[in-house]
Amino acid sequence: IGRMAMFHADPAGLDQAIAEAIRSGRSIEEVEREQLGYDHAELGGLLAEKWKLPADICAAIGQHHQEAGEGQPSLASVVAEADRFCVSHGILPGYVVPGAPGVVVVPDGEVAQVLKQVDTLMASITQEPSGVHLVP
């Protein structure tokens, strides 16, 4: 959500931040905070709060790049792993930080099945009569 808002507001600036992160080997969040004073997760969390989304959803959006604590993975850590999976498989734009910690590892033999499920889900979302239309 935050990255989409940043892209809408300043696509060239976001492109520059991503390029700098790749060039320097730093995380996009670090570069966003350096250049803008906030990162996309923080912005997304604030937008979710403004839209009055449930608190656990706001936390998952706003904290999805923070390390999970001990015990069960948090919703934010699940969102972070989904984000990494989607980026690494070309579903979302971005880049993957080598060696990034993960909650779920999808075995290579199951990746094609997961990608097919994502395609099916995206097709159903874009055809919802809710008035929301997403372009996959």
Handedness of CA 41, 57, 110, 65 (dihedral sign): positive
Residue 109 identity: G
Same domain? For 130 and 77 the reply is: no
| Domain identity same for 17 and 63 | yes
pLDDT in tens, the chain (136 residues): 888 898 889 888 888 888 888 888 888 888 999 998 899 999 999 999 999 988 888 888 998 877 665 555 677 877 777 777 776 766 655 555 544 554 455 666 777 777 777 677 666 655 555 444 444 4
Contacts of 113 (CB under 8 A, 6+ apart): none
Residues 82 and 113 in one domain: no
Sequence-distant (6+) residues with CB within 8 A of 46 are 62
Q: What b/e string do you get for 89-110 counting C-beta neighbours within 10 Å, with b at 16 or more?
A: eebeebeebeeeeeeeeeeeee
Please give the pLDDT value at position 73.
60
pLDDT digits (tens, 9 = 90+) for 4-28: 898 889 888 888 888 888 888 888 8
Q: Examine the domain organization and report whether 98 and 116 are in the same domain.
A: no
pTM higher than the cut 0.85: no
End-to-end Cα distance, the chain: 15
- Number of structural domains the chain divides into: 2
Do residues 6 and 47 lie in contact, with contact meaning Cβ atoms separated by under 8 Å? no
What pLDDT score was predicted for residue 94?
55
CA angle 5, 9, 11 (to 5 degrees): 95
Domain containing 136 equals 106-136
Query: Are residues 113 and 52 located together in one domain of the fold?
Result: no
Q: Are residues 29 and 75 in the same domain?
A: yes
Q: Are residues 65 and 126 in the same domain?
A: no
